[in-house]
Every structure is written in structure tokens, then in C-alpha cells.
Amino acid sequence: MDEVRALDEERRRLLAEVETLKATRNRVAKEIGALMAQKKAAEAEARKAEARMLGDRIPQLDLQVAAVAARRDDLLLRLPNLPHADVPVGATAADNPVVRVWGEKPSFSFVPRPHTELCQSLGLVDFERGAKLSGSGFLLYTGWGARLERALIQFLLDRHVLEHGYTEISLPSW
């Protein structure tokens, strides 16, 4: 965390320096215009040289800002999501306490099955083929599952077009 903080402070310092240089360059540009209007060409040329130096330094600093930000972001991506201090340490789900309950838990005359099992047994989704085609976590809707997905899409399109004034557009695809 100390390195992340240090990199963030360096990035902020460099950004402030870049912004200061840009403001100075803008001020110098206005001064050049005023000097030219007053026919003070020699002074204007000196200010142009200063503006060029500022203009050369700004892209260098922009590159430094980007490099520092990239290093900081890389470190941030490696930091774990820490649980809240109140979360107890446990080995299994049984070690998780119930914090609060809302409503009444439904009771069934049968043992409820997970939705993944239901989808597979009803032939609505082919998880293995979906993972093979697109990678882990992707679904391949089949049969009634595909029809249900299409019906939901159609329902939402119709609702937004007919009730909310959206304009439906069909884009070309390559």
C-alpha cells in the first residue's frame, strides 16, 4: 500500500506540474499575441522560444504521468479485496454467521434443486458446450431456453419502443 500511495502522490505531483506548464504556455501565448500587436517582434520571438521549451517539456511529463499511473494501476490490480473487519475467519460456509434475515423462508413439499441443475435437466442450457465455445461462465441456451431468451429480448424491445418512445435500430454486422 505504501508503494501505491507513493506512486499516486508522484502522479498527482507530475499532473500538477503539467497543468502549471500548460497554464504558463497559454499565458505566454497571449503575451506573444499582445507583443506582436505592439510591433515588439524581438520580445515576441524571445517569448516564442520560451513557449517552445514549455511545449517540449509537456509531452515528456505526460509520458511520465502515464508510466507512473500504469505502475500504480498494476499494483492496485494485484491487491486483494479485503473483507470487512467484522467478517469472521472460517474454513467453510458453516463458519459464516447469519447477520440478518428478511421475510419468511419458503417451505416446499419437495427438495429444491439448484437452477443450474434444473436448466440442464430441462435442456434449457448446455453449460459444457457454452464453456467450450466462449470460455468459462458463458451459457449456450438450447431449445426452450433459447426461445425464452428470445422472447424476453422481444418483450423488452417492444416495451421500450412502444411505451418509452425508443427508436429500434438494426445495425449491420460483419
User: Helices 41-78 and 2-37: crossing angle, nearest 10°?
Assistant: 160
- Asked if residues 138 and 131 have their Cβ atoms less than 8 Å apart, the reply is yes
- The DSSP 8-state label assigned to residue 93 in this structure reads G
Q: What's the alpha-carbon Rg for the chain, to the nearest Å?
A: 31
Q: Mean pLDDT, to the nearest integer, of 88-112?
A: 91
- CB count, 10 Å around CB of 102? 4
Q: What's the pLDDT at 66?
A: 94
- CB count, 10 Å around CB of 98? 5
Kindly list the structural domains of the chain, giving each domain's residue range(s) and its CATH number in brackets, ordered by start. 2-78 (1.10.287.40), 114-169 (no CATH)
In DSSP terms, 125 is beta-bridged to 141
At residue 88, does pLDDT exceed 80? yes
Q: What's the pLDDT at 109?
A: 95
Higher pLDDT, 29 or 147: 147
- Please provide residue 127's backbone torsions phi and psi, each rounded to the nearest 5 degrees: -65, -45
- Counting every residue written for the chain, the total comes to 174
How does residue 167 score in pLDDT terms, banded at 50, 70 and 90?
very high
- Please provide residue 96's backbone torsions phi and psi, each rounded to the nearest 5 degrees: -85, 120
Average pLDDT, the chain: 90
Q: Mean pLDDT, to the nearest integer, of 29-58?
A: 84
- Please provide residue 141's backbone torsions phi and psi, each rounded to the nearest 5 degrees: -75, 140
Per-residue CA distances from 38 to 34, 35, 43, 47, 128 (Å)? 6, 5, 10, 14, 78
- Asked if residues 47 and 32 have their Cβ atoms less than 8 Å apart, the reply is yes
Please name the amino acid found at residue 131.
Answer: A
